[in-house]
Amino acid sequence: MHVFVTGATGWIGSAVVDELLGAGHEVTGLARSDAAALALGKKGARVRRGDLDDLAGLRDAALDAQAVVHLANKHDWGNPAESNRAERAAVETLAEALVGTDRPFALAAGLSGLVQGRPATEADVSPEVGPGSHRGGAENLALEYAEKGVRVLSVRFAPSVHGPGDRGFLAAITAAAREHGVSAYP
C-alpha cells in the first residue's frame, strides 16, 4: 500500500514510517526541510517537499496515495488560532481528496483539552476553541468524513509522548529545568 505521511520525521511520525516500511508499504513523507528530506530518503521513503500551508501539495499527495496518515502540526504556541486554522485546513484538504474512495485517513489527536475530572471516552469531542483546542477541533472535522466515504481513524495520544532520543516537548522542559533550575508547563 502507498501511504502518504505528514509529520513523517517527527517523534511519532518517524516511528510510523519505520513500521510502514518494515511491513513492506511504500511511504511518501512530507518534508519541510532538506534535513527532513534526507532523513526520509535514507530510510527508503519517497519525499514530498512542502508544509501544512501547501494545500494543493497536500491534496495531490493524498490523491496519489492509497492511505493518509496525518501527524504534522504547526505547534505555534504564540499564535494558537493560526495553528488551529492551519490544522483544520490541512485536515479538510486531505479528507476532501479521499471522499468516496473508502481509503483510510488516520490522524493524531490528543487527550489534553477533553473533559476533565473523569476518564475520557470516544464520545468526548475535542474543543474547537479555548485552552484545550490544540488542533482546533480538527479531529471532529475529520470524523465527519466517515459519512462521505473516507475510513477515518483518530488516534488520541497522551499529552506528552516521549522516549529515548526525544527532541520534543518533554526534552524542552527538561532542558529548561537543567538550565534554569526550574521549568514550567504552559
pLDDT of res. 163: 72
Structural domain contains residue 181: no
pLDDT of res. 130: 61
pLDDT tens sequence across 28-47: 999 999 999 999 999 999 99
Q: Which residue in 69, 88, 173 sits closest to 126, CA to CA? A: 88
Q: Are strands 26-31 and 2-6 parallel, antiparallel or unpaired?
A: parallel
Query: What CATH number is associated with residue 94?
Result: 3.40.50.720
- Say if residue 50's pLDDT is above 70: yes
The model carries a pTM of 0.85
- Say if residue 134's pLDDT is above 60: yes
Structural domain contains residue 167: no
Structural domain contains residue 53: yes
What average pLDDT does the segment 111-123 reach? 73
Structural domain contains residue 104: yes
Q: Report the alpha-carbon distance of residue 96 to residue 92 in Å, rounded.
A: 6
* Type and span of the H or E element at 132: none
Measure the CA angle with vertex 52, ends 102 and 97; round to 5°: 20
List own/partner pairs for 96-102 with CB under 8 A and 24 or more apart: 96/59, 96/145, 97/58, 97/59, 97/62, 97/63, 97/68, 98/62, 98/68, 98/145, 98/149, 98/150, 99/145, 99/148, 99/149, 99/150, 100/148, 100/149, 101/149, 101/150, 102/149, 102/150, 102/151
Structural domain contains residue 173: no
Q: How many beta carbons lie within 10 A of that of residue 144, not counting itself?
A: 13
**Number of structural domains, the chain?**
1
Q: How confident is the model at residue 132 (pLDDT cuts 50, 70, 90)?
A: low
Structural domain contains residue 38: yes
Q: How confident is the model at residue 119 (pLDDT cuts 50, 70, 90)?
A: confident
> Domain span at residue 113?
2-160
Structural domain contains residue 185: no
Structural domain contains residue 172: no
